[in-house]
C-alpha cells in the first residue's frame, strides 16, 4: 500500500471530517468518528474522486466506510 495514498486520504479525511489527521488510522470508521455522516461521506468521496482523478461505482462507494477500506478501494482504482 502506498504511503502517499494513505497520507493523501488522511489529509482529505482531516479536511472533510474536521478531524486531526494524526488521529486517523485503520480503525477510523463511520461508526466511530463524530461528524462522519452520510453527507460528509458524499463530500469525502467527491474529494477523493477529484484528488485522484478517478470515479467510484455505487458498490465501491458503499464499501468505503473506514480509512482502511477507502485506501483499499482507492489503491485498486489507480
How confident is the model at residue 1, as a pLDDT? 47
**pTM for this predicted structure:** 0.90
Count of the separate structural domains present in the chain: 1
For 60, the domain range is: 3-77
Tens of each residue's pLDDT in the chain, 78 residues: 456 999 999 999 999 999 999 999 999 999 999 999 999 999 999 999 999 999 999 999 899 999 999 999 999 998
Taking CB atoms within 8 Å and a gap of at least 24, the contacts of 36-44 are 40/16, 43/16, 44/12, 44/13, 44/16, 44/17, 44/70
Q: What is the predicted pLDDT for the residue at 2?
A: 56
Report the CATH number that the domain containing residue 26 is assigned in CATH. Answer: 1.10.1200.10
pLDDT at 75: 95
Amino acid at each position: 500500500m502506498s504511503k502517499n495514498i494513505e497520507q493523501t486520504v488522511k489529509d482529505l479525511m482531516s479536511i472533510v471530517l474536521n478531524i486531526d489527521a494524526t488521529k486517523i488510522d485503520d480503525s477510523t470508521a463511520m461508526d466511530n468518528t463524530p461528524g462522519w455522516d452520510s453527507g460528509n461521506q458524499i463530500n469525502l468521496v467527491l474529494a477523493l474522486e477529484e484528488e485522484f482523478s478517478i470515479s467510484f461505482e455505487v458498490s465501491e462507494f458503499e464499501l468505503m466506510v473506514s480509512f482502511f477500506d477507502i485506501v483499499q478501494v482507492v489503491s485498486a482504482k489507480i
